[in-house]
Structure formats: C-alpha cells, structure tokens
Chains A and B, each alone.
Chain A
Amino acid sequence: MAGSLSDLRIVETCGPIGHYAGRLLADLGADVIKVEPPRGDPARRYAPFLPGVEAPENGLQFILLNANKRSVTLDLERPEERALFLRLIASADVLLDSWQPHESARLGLTEAALLAAKPDLVRTSITGWGLSGPHADWAYADIVAQAASGVMTLAGFPDGPPEQIADHQGHRAASIDAAAGTIAALLHHDATGEGQRVEVSAQEALSMAQETAMMFADINGIDRQRTGGTGGLAIRIPGIGLYAAADGWVYMLAAGTAGSGFQGVLATMDTLGYQSDLREEPWATFILESMNRALLLQAMADPEQALALARKLEHIESVVVDCFTRYPKRDLYEIGQQHRLLIGMVSTPEDISTSPQLNARDWFVEIDDPGRGRRLRYPGPPWQLRGTPATLRRPAPLLGEHTAEVLTEIGVAAGEARAFAGRRA
C-alpha cells in the first residue's frame, strides 16, 4: 500500500527543531531529502552515541529522527551550491527550513528567491520564535521555548527549579505542528495549485501545553505554580498519587469519580494475596462511605472532623504503602487495571521496550543499517493508518550519502555529480 504522501518530494534544511517534522512526513511516504552543510547536521554529533561507529555517524538522536530520509551536502554559503539548492527546490513540492529571518537574508534564500525557483512551493518555516515580532531573531534552544511558552514554570517542586520536559519537547511540538500545517497546505495545493507559507514558532506550539494555566490566569487572575506532583492538595489522600513499588513506582487515581476507586485498590490487594485490616471494621465501612476525594476534601474543611479524619487516612495510607512496596510495578499496574483501577506504572525506557501491549501490536520496527553495520530497532509511528500505513523504508543516511544520486535526479550530468560528491567526501 502506498503512503498518503508517496508522490511528494520534500527538501529539509532544518536544524534539530525540524527533524521530527521531516521524519513524520517521510513515514507517510514522502521522499524527504535532507540538505546538510558539508560538516553535517550538528545533531549528528550529539550524545548519546552508537558504540563502535565513528563520528559523525554515531549520534543516536540523529539516527532516530532522520531515518527514511536521503542526505545531500551543499554549502549554502557558496553561490554555485546555492544555485544547485534552488534547482533542487524547483524539483520539490515542499521545503522545510528552520532559518531565522537574519539567516535567510544573509544566505540570499529569502521567500522571494525560493518562489522564483518554485512559484507554487509549500514552504514550512520552523523556528523558535516565528518569522515576525520583536524576538524573531532571538537565539533558540529547546529549553528556551519550554521556558517562554509557560510550560516549564509548571514542572518541578515549589522549592526547586522549574524543570524542562524530557526529550526536546520544544522541537517536538514545533515539528508536530509543522507536519500538520504542511499537509493542510498540501490539501489546498492539490485543490488549487497554489502554494503558501506554513509558519511555526516553538514558543507558540508549546503554549497550548500549559493545560489550564493560561485560562486560570485569564479567568481567575491566578498563576498556577509547580507543586511537585501534589496538584496543590494540602493533604495526602490514600489512593491518589505516586506510590513506590518493589522495583519502581506506580501512579493511581483511586477515590475519584471514575474507575473503581478505592474499592479497586482493595480488590487489587486481594488478588495480590496481601492481607490487611482494611477489609475489617471499622475500616470497611469507612472506606465504603467516605473514600471519595470530594467528600474527603469537604470533611477536611471542618476543623472538628479534620483531626480524626487525618488519623484514619494515615492508617489507610500506611497499609497501601506497605502493600505496594512489596510487589513489582507491572503486577500492580496490570492487576489494578483488571479491577478497573486507574493506575499506571512509571515506565523506564526498558519497560517501554518490553511492554506487552506495544509488542503485541508489533509497534517497534527493525531495519538493517548497512552503513553502520547494525540492525536497529525503532519505535513505531504515532498512528496506525489501516489504508495508508506509515512505513520505515530506509535507515538514517550517512552524511552526503545521496549527493550524487540526487544531483543526477535534478539534471546534473552523472559524471559531474559524482565528481562533486567525491570532492565533498
């Protein structure tokens, strides 16, 4: 089955901010040609590394996000190579770039120059700050978008620093929005033949991920703070939050309104074979009647009830803590879920790699990477399109691996293309 974008050629000249955008579009079938400077994309040299492989072919982050692409090296600082670049653009449907305004001006690769080469180009610009506004030329790094979008202030503990979200979520959010915007622009191009600019700012792309914080500020004039995972609750309610397991952690939301609530915790303990007094009186009745977050918070507001209630909750909590620390996280998770408890295990990379669910769905894909002498295991795509599935067709390119091939495709004589690529190597 062909992918939904199999007829398209996309040129990608992005730094790390746009790698995932190109990868998503390539997974949907597009021929994505990565144009790199002669020294290579900087992410080729980012740790961690694939052992036994030489730089610049060993950067794992690069290998992950650039599979399914071809690589051409062009020195865009040189006029004759810029001309080749514009010929490549003329042959393409889409350009993904991450040039800030001062960079495209310096290179002479302004939108006017690009459109002269390809009047109906879909040009997708992916930058930290967008192409307009007073910060358009500000320097960008992933963590900077996380700070300026309002996302970072929400993560961490009250007495510690704001925390970034792992694995480059500024880059990721910008790339995801860029891929969506690019396909929207392609739909318009299919219908009318007209190209256009798609513009993404990482600061804006991440802003939506403030959850309710923007609306709290707008409606109530309150800035949400980082709470270290307590959600601002002053008391610990048994069954809500993070619990240590024998080999890690689980998180659960019992005593709320959805799922089986605290009864699900008791049922899980029964299945595990853990004996406690919570099935006996007075606990059984108390749990049945009172272990509901809304009721508990209401009761705790009354100082006369609060102290007695706090003692009861403390006992229940101690039983849960004692039970959970005895069992593996995966057992607590899977048995809890069988009892319709809203519970998840805190997965490490190894847990994800060995997940029974992901593996039952054949989500991971293996592919030979002859250039690196390896068979590599890749995480799968974000969706299963049953009619036009995403595919992993080729490993991440070696630097300039396809220079001669692609130059030939745009009409450079084969001998000349080989000679050009040879000089580069």
Chain B
Amino acid sequence: MTTSGDAREQVAARPRALDGVKVLDLTWFGAGPIGMRTIANLGADVIRVETQKRPDGLRIAPPRPVGNASLNVGGYFNNFNAEKRSITIDLTTERGHELGIELVKWADLFMTNMTGRAVRQIGMTWEALHDANPGIIAMYQPMQGMTGPHAEFAGFGAVLSTICGVNYLSGFAANDPVGVGTNYPDYVVNPIHAVIALLAALRHKRRTGEGQLIDMSQLESSVAAFSGPVFAWDNARVEHERIGNRVPYAAPHGAFRCADTAARPDRWLVLACLDDAQWERCATACGHPEWSVDPRFATLAERKRNEDALEATLAAWAEAQDGAETVARLQAAAVPAALVLSASEVLADEHLGARGYFVYLDHAEAGRRAYDGSGFQLSKTPVELRRAAPLIGEHTWEIASDVLGLSPDEIGTLIAEQVLY
C-alpha cells in the first residue's frame, strides 16, 4: 500500500475485486463497521447511513485530539470507517424510511449489527428489505442471532467476551477471569467472519441471481474462533485449565521479562519451542547448552512435567538480558521469539514499515493519521484505503442527488425538516 499522492493516483486506476458492488451499511460501534470497511477497501461503494440525532458512539469515544469534541476527529471511528461515504438520514421519520428503502433497492449488500428491536424501529427487517429488493443479500448481526430465547439480549463487546468464553479461557488460574484488555471478538473475529459470508453470498448471487438472508450471531461467530476447549469438553470431557501463556503441546512457551532500560521499562519477550530441536537451539542461543541435556528438560514430556522449574530458569536468565538483542539471537537460531510490542512500537516496527502495513491518510478535520491496513493483500486487485473516514453526513448531498435522484430544492427541504439529518 502506498500513500504518496502520485503513486496513489496511479493505483487508483487499478481494478479492485469488488468494483461496482453497492453496499448499504447500517452498522455501528465496532464489529459491524470494520467488516464494511474491508468491503469498501476491496472496491465496493459503501454508503454508511448515520443520523445526527443519535451518532455512532465511536464518533464520541476516545482517542481524540485533546479538547476537541467534534464528531469527526475520533480515532476509533475514523480507523474503522475509512473510505466509506456517509449520508445522514433519520430513518425513524416516514420520509426518512422511504429514502432508506430507496437505498435498499439500490444495494447489492446490506448489513446491520443493531439489535432486533432497533431494526424493527427503523423498519429495516428482512421482510421489508426482501419486498423492496428480492435479490438483496442482507446480513443481520445481533449479539446472539435472530432466533432463540436470548435473541433480544443486549450487550457490547465486553459482555459478549464473557458469554463466548474468551475471558474464562484466557489468563492464569490464580487470577479472576477479567478478560484480555480489549473486546477482542469485535475486531477481527466478527467483522472478518462477516466478510467471508458476504463474499460467499455475493459469489452465489453472481452465479444464480439469488440473494439471501445471513443470520450472524456474534456469539456463534466468537465461539467458532474459540472452539478448541468446547470441542475438547464435549468429546473428551477435558476440563479447561487456565494456563496463561502455556499451551498443552509445547514448552517452554511463554513471556519472560528482560532488563528494563530507562527508555523502555516493562520489557518482555515471548518465545516458544514446539519440539526438542527448537529447544536445543534455544538453549544454545541463550548461552546455556547444558539446559537441553538437563534431565528435567531434555524431552518435551520432561519439560511439561517440570514446566515451573523450566520457566523459573528462563526467567532468571532473561532478567539480565537486553530484549531486542535476545530476540535477534533466538531468531537467528530459528527459534520463534518476539518482543511484546506496545502500540507505538508496532507503529514504528521496521518490518511492518517495510511492508507498508499502516497507511497514513489526510482527513479534513483530523489531519494526517495512521490507519490499519488490510489483514490480507491481493496481488492484482489490491485491498487499499483510498480515502480517510467520512465526516458525519459528508456525502449527504451527493448521495441524495446521484443515488436517490432528489432535486436541490427537495434536498434543501429535507435537510431543513431534519429528515436528511
């Protein structure tokens, strides 16, 4: 991905996989918008409908420039909505709803992650969509799916993380299951699972002309990505042990604290030895070849049996080591190892930098800011961010005119009447 002006104009001419695909985006907060951003970065025209009456919580959430309360400068919203177009419509008004249905008729794909109750309030049920556009692909992504006794249960990512098992499965037995510091399923698991289903449905539509309803329960999607322990419970009654940074099939496997420096306190590295050969190379790279012949540590079975002692040995050694230098030494010996990077270190990471992962885009109010790149790259139809996130309602006039076919007078009236609002 490239960001310099000239280069961007050149790539702008390159085809993308979803050129010409039209998408109506009624998502908000985290899980929904990220998937729709990926669809936009694949080339689709994604129209995000918002309303000033109740802006997306992410437009209000931090981080934002200190003292700036604008709805257009939040990093949370902007990162996850790059390249979409934004129109403001109050869908709870009669005329607003009619305009929403016009967009349904225009769209190939529709997605919302609102609750069933909210979907009914704005009249965007599957029945209403299918009546207006029988070929539409519509994804509903409420927390627990469209049917079942908990279909109307409410919650944010933090609530979902507890219900789907992430919090219990992660962490150490000695601590309470407080979670992993983020609403993890919101950011890759649910949005990109959603993209898979939408693209699969689009392929079916292109081959048959048929649209379809996709009922995507965030709970099912999340459990699907954490399915190992429930599968082991169901079929072998394996009680999940909360083993922190270990795994059942490798040792050593964990995080070890290195020497602090003034510039970087709290310096940790991780390393993993999946077989005896890796462990032997690891011990040698650490300057302690005797570890790999110590009878307590010589085989994987022995290392698992003596894992506390193994970790204590490594921890005592690591304390005196420089983190970056040690990782380089381990990697030179083909041992999986890395520094535990902070966010600013990830932004400055030389490897990600060489690959051009982060993209810097100019935004009318937020200025030049970093955006996450795509989690996958396509060599001939690039996935790329060609525009920053939209200001709220930035494209209201152009969409009302070009897509909805309204005259300037009508648009002016609808804005004044707080329908296009």
Contact = CB atoms under 8 A, between A and B. Distances in A.
Contact of A217 (B34, B61, B151, B343): B343
Place the interface of chain B in its size category: 35 or more
Contacts of B195: 180
Given A165-B184, A200-B376, 16 more contacts: A24-B196, A48-B248, A133-B351, A180-B376, A187-B199, A208-B372, A211-B183, A221-B344, A258-B154, A346-B177, A349-B230, A353-B234, A360-B149, A380-B224, A383-B216, A387-B201
B148 A386 contact: no
A183 B148 contact: no
A88 interface: no
A348 B200 contact: no
Contact of B178 (A161, A177, A228): A228
Contact of B380 (A132, A194, A203): A194
A353 B230 contact: yes
B164 interface: yes
A232 to B, nearest CB: 10
A85 interface: no
B180 interface: yes
A7 to B, nearest CB: 9
Nearest to A168: B228
Interface stretch (B84-92, B288-296, B331-339): B331-339
B211 A387 contact: yes
Contacts of A164: 170, 244-245, 255, 270
B8 interface: no
B223 A219 contact: no
B163 A48 contact: no
Interface string B192-215: 111111011111101100111111
A206 interface: yes
B63 A349 contact: no
A270 to B, nearest CB: 19
Given A184-B18, A386-B215, A153 B340 contact: yes
What secondary structure prevails in chain A residues at the interface with B?
A: mixed
A71 interface: no
B341 A153 contact: yes
A144 B201 contact: no
B144 interface: yes
Contacts of B240: 348-349
Given A133-B355, A214-B79, A383-B193, A200 B272 contact: no
A4 to B, nearest CB: 4
A201 B144 contact: no
Given A169-B184, A342-B155, A383-B194, A150 B63 contact: no
A361 B218 CA distance: 13
A200 B377 CA distance: 7
Given A64-B231, A348-B168, A356 B150 contact: yes
What secondary structure prevails in chain B residues at the interface with A?
A: mixed
| Residue in B63, B210, B374 whose Cβ sees the most chain A Cβ within 10 Å | B63
B79 A215 contact: yes
Nearest to B152: A337
| Residue in B144, B153, B189, B343 whose Cβ sees the most chain A Cβ within 10 Å | B343
A20 B231 CA distance: 14
B200 A177 contact: no
A241 B171 CA distance: 17
14 contacts: A46-B247, A64-B228, A139-B278, A147-B268, A148-B346, A156-B171, A181-B377, A199-B378, A207-B346, A218-B75, A219-B75, A344-B155, A349-B229, A385-B212
Interface stretch (A246-254, A277-285, A310-318, A416-424): A246-254
A50 B235 contact: yes
| Residue in B147, B156, B216, B336 whose Cβ sees the most chain A Cβ within 10 Å | B336
B226 A167 contact: yes
A14 B256 CA distance: 29
B370 A215 contact: yes
A174 to B, nearest CB: 8
A193 B218 CA distance: 35
B314 to A, nearest CB: 12
Nearest to B165: A347
A258 B18 CA distance: 36
Contacts of A208: 34, 187-188, 372, 375
B349 interface: yes
Interface string A12-30: 0000000010001000100
A103 to B, nearest CB: 11
Contacts of B65: 219-220
Contacts of A149: 341, 346
Interface in A303-356: 333-334, 337, 340, 342-353, 356
Given A188-B17, A204-B375, A223 B380 contact: no
A152 B201 contact: no
A279 B83 CA distance: 50
B355 A130 contact: yes
A188 B186 CA distance: 28
Nearest to B229: A349
A106 interface: no
B229 A357 contact: no
Contacts of A274: none
A60 B193 CA distance: 23
A163 B172 contact: yes
Contacts of B199: 180, 183-184, 187
B123 interface: no
A209 B170 CA distance: 15
